[in-house]
Structure 1
Amino acid sequence: MAVTLLLDSSGTGSVTVQRSPLAELCACLHVLDEPGHHPGSAAWLARAHAELDGGLLTMAAAWAPLWGAFRARYLLPLSAGSGRTLADELQEVAELPIGDFVAMTAQALIGKNDTDLAPRLSDEVLQRLRLISTSRMEIGARLRADPEAFRRELLDFLAAFAAASFDAEWPALRQALDRDRAERVRDLHRRGPLVLADLPTTSTASTASTTSTVSSTRKPLRIVFDKLYNATARVDEGRPCLLVPTVHGRPHFVIKHYPGYPVVIQYSADGAATPTLETARRRLAALQDPTRLRLAYAILRNPVATSELATQLGMSAPQVSRHLRRLREAQLVHTHRRGSVVYYQLDAAAIERLGPDLLSVLYR
């Protein structure tokens, strides 16, 4: 499963990089709701709990589904433009057509890219929300009863939370985001849209277009992002791709592609490597086999040669080699050679990271 972007490979105009105070504010709110997966934000989280009153914390928990695993589209930039303030971005949400606002909210509550949820929430949608959680159903009922009032209340909360526990943090965050943005812009000027391949992708290729928007003599760039759902979106001058760096959003990798609005990719600004779905799958598959688990145990503490492993496990050398190859392909072993003998040792750090890496893939 993956999200595929099709974009013109001839220029950089369809891809831009911009920071977003609203996106970073909502990344902070997500940390507040799911602190366990964001150890790098522990210092901010401690300050937030010390500074915020109980009323704001309660409200943050009530609104949390909007910036959860499936972020509401309007909480990321709705249009291209540098230098936007938080007030500018909140105003843009306030001016969003109410049908789009309702549909984007419903998407976040349900956690699906379903665009047939506007202009009003049906009984069927509320029933789906009830089966997810009663709190989401209650949010959906409030939204259906008075969407304009719902939006005003949400924007008032975001402004109040920012004043209480985000505005003081923003100058330092802005510097970090601007540093990353400057690097990405330089890369974009040098490499064009191929800069997207630095993000968690599974493949990058030029393919002949079958749509009428690109002539048969031009080949769009096809970039496939490692995600746990399938979708395809076209990027061009009329619908740009906005790259939005985040500090507090790590390890999440967010792609939003609501029809009629720019494609937005929010990525970690620290440049840390992120695991791919295929890597996690290969490692889980490799360790599922009982024989490979025995091999892992045998090479955990010390490097061992294939012939010795065959003796210890009562197997033939070719059998051991086949299992070691699977562990090597999953990047779970280190090898080194002494003369003609190759020694294998388990990569204990890779095993230790498997849990957090798998969580990172699922959260993405």
Structure 2
Amino acid sequence: MLTLEFSAADVALTRFAHSPLEELANSVQVLKEPGEHAVHLPWVREVAPRIDWARHGLLSALIRIPNIYVPDFLTPMPLGSAPTPEEELARLTATDPRQVRADLDRITGPLPPPVAELYADPAAGLARLADELRTYWALALAPYWERIRRLVDGEILRRARQMSTGGPAALFADLHPSVTWESGTLRVAHRWYSAERGLDGGRGLVLVPSVFAWPGVWSQTDPPHQPGLVYPPRGVATLWERPAPAPDGLAGVLGRTRAQLLAELDSPASTTELAARLGISAPNVSHHLSALTAAGLLARHRTGRTVLYLRTPVAEAWLAQERTVVKNS
């Protein structure tokens, strides 16, 4: 059990970020142990044949299965809200050699040969690691990144809304089954790790949604990085699924396409993404989304250049009632 004590300043400095390197490291674990990450099996089937681990020997040796520790220098907490892969790789290659060796000293047992070489010459080893990460990224994550990023953007939007209306208690209430919040204390039920930490009255916490973290939750609390918590965002199961059928009751009231759009928005999505999921034109989707928004069933939020749609509380209640009726019929 990890226990984190928050001050008022820590709550004020708690923020969200998305990390390409965190997604990458977690995706390697998914490929190596797909049975533990069943929702990602469609992705695994597509990507696994592309990956030659002999070309990614250092990366593979750093992320071993079973392995309860991935060196922190590989997945540092993001400094900004949405760093690019190249920005994170630049930060990786600039890691202080002393930090690299300190992280590697935490690995139990003898170091695999590629990792031992990294320990002996961190600068050269990090350059090699960055090259492997670029190659892996292009094969395994780049083709799916926009889809992943939109899901995470929607998660951050939803959590920010919860925080604004209900404070930390609402934010952490359904973050993950292993996470609980009570009276300024955050508890994370880790299987292999136990500690009690203060956040030093002003460091705050970085919340990092990661689709490939599913179903687990990870924490990083050791200096020099800001403490962080990595957790799976809501809607991960929808990433690789085909569209679910529209509820018949809603379809009878709204029409099949609009009911389908409401059902698809378990997590916020853009017009382009919804058009791709449903196999209809973006202008057609935009027309229906505008009608649903005007009816008070959807809300629009802009993140950068993208407009995301999410269900309003009225739509959530309506859809929940429809699904209950179907379940009990």
| TM class, shorter-length | 0.5 to 0.7
Name the Cα RMSD after superposition. Answer: 2.7
CA drift at 1:186:
1.4
Counterpart pick for 1:265 among 224, 229, 232: 229
Decide whether aligned partners of structure 1 residues 203 and 42 sit closer, same or farther in structure 2, where only a CA change above 3 A counts.
closer
**Is residue 2:203 matched to residue 1:239?**
yes
Task: For 1:204 and 1:183, locate their aligned partners in 2 and report how far apart those are by CA, in whole Å.
Answer: 18
> Alignment partner of 1:223: what SS?
strand
Counterpart pick for 1:227 among 182, 190, 212: 190
**Is residue 2:214 matched to residue 1:250?**
yes
> Alignment partner of 1:170: what SS?
helix
1:153 maps to 128
Letter in 2 for 1:50: P
1:163 maps to 138
Decide whether aligned partners of structure 1 residues 11 and 25 sit closer, same or farther in structure 2, where only a CA change above 3 A counts.
closer
Task: For 1:94 and 1:77, locate their aligned partners in 2 and report how far apart those are by CA, in whole Å.
Answer: 12
Identity %: 25
Decide whether aligned partners of structure 1 residues 260 and 61 sit closer, same or farther in structure 2, where only a CA change above 3 A counts.
closer
Cα contact 1:6–1:233 (8 A) shared by 2:
yes
Task: For 2:178 and 2:51, locate their aligned partners in 1 and report how far apart those are by CA, in whole Å.
Answer: 38
Task: For 1:29 and 1:182, locate their aligned partners in 2 and report how far apart those are by CA, in whole Å.
Answer: 27
1:62-211 correspondence runs (5 A): 62-65=61-64, 68-107=67-106, 109-110=107-108, 129-130=109-110, 136-194=111-169, 195-198=171-174, 199-201=176-178, 204-206=181-183
Which entry has the higher C-alpha Rg, 1 or 2? 1
CA drift at 1:175:
0.8
**Is residue 2:9 matched to residue 1:4?**
no
Task: For 1:66 and 1:154, locate their aligned partners in 2 and report how far apart those are by CA, in whole Å.
Answer: 19
Q: Which runs of 5+ in 2 are unaligned?
A: 237-329
For each residue in 1:187-233, what CA deviation from the matched residue of structure 2 results, as whole angstroms up to 9, or x when unmatched?
Answer: 22233333234334575433xxxxxxxxxxxxxx1222111321122
Cα contact 1:14–1:236 (8 A) shared by 2:
no
CA drift at 1:104:
2.0
Tell me whether 86-95 or 76-85 shows the greater mean CA deviation. 76-85
Task: For 1:269 and 1:174, locate their aligned partners in 2 and report how far apart those are by CA, in whole Å.
Answer: 11
TM-score with structure 2 setting the length: 0.63
1:338 maps to none
CA drift at 1:53:
4.2
CA drift at 1:234:
2.3
Task: For 1:13 and 1:67, locate their aligned partners in 2 and report how far apart those are by CA, in whole Å.
Answer: 37
Decide whether aligned partners of structure 1 residues 157 and 227 sit closer, same or farther in structure 2, where only a CA change above 3 A counts.
same
Task: For 1:55 and 1:10, locate their aligned partners in 2 and report how far apart those are by CA, in whole Å.
Answer: 47
**Is residue 2:37 matched to residue 1:38?**
yes
Decide whether aligned partners of structure 1 residues 24 and 105 sit closer, same or farther in structure 2, where only a CA change above 3 A counts.
same
CA drift at 1:90:
1.2
Task: For 1:40 and 1:74, locate their aligned partners in 2 and report how far apart those are by CA, in whole Å.
Answer: 28
Cα contact 2:19–2:78 (8 A) shared by 1:
no
Task: For 1:163 and 1:202, locate their aligned partners in 2 and report how far apart those are by CA, in whole Å.
Answer: 33
For each residue in 1:110-134, what CA deviation from the matched residue of structure 2 results, as whole angstroms up to 9, or x when unmatched?
Answer: 3xxxxxxxxxxxxxxxxxx23xxxx
Q: Which runs of 5+ in 1 are unaligned?
A: 111-128, 131-135, 207-220, 273-364
> Alignment partner of 2:3: what SS?
strand
TM-score with structure 1 setting the length: 0.58
1:56-67 correspondence runs (5 A): 56=55, 60-65=59-64
> Alignment partner of 2:213: what SS?
coil
Cα contact 1:142–1:150 (8 A) shared by 2:
yes
CA drift at 1:185:
1.4
Cα contact 2:57–2:114 (8 A) shared by 1:
no
CA drift at 1:165:
2.1
Task: For 2:30 and 2:189, locate their aligned partners in 1 and report how far apart those are by CA, in whole Å.
Answer: 23
1:49 maps to 48
Cα contact 1:77–1:264 (8 A) shared by 2:
no
Decide whether aligned partners of structure 1 residues 191 and 92 sit closer, same or farther in structure 2, where only a CA change above 3 A counts.
farther
1:311 maps to none
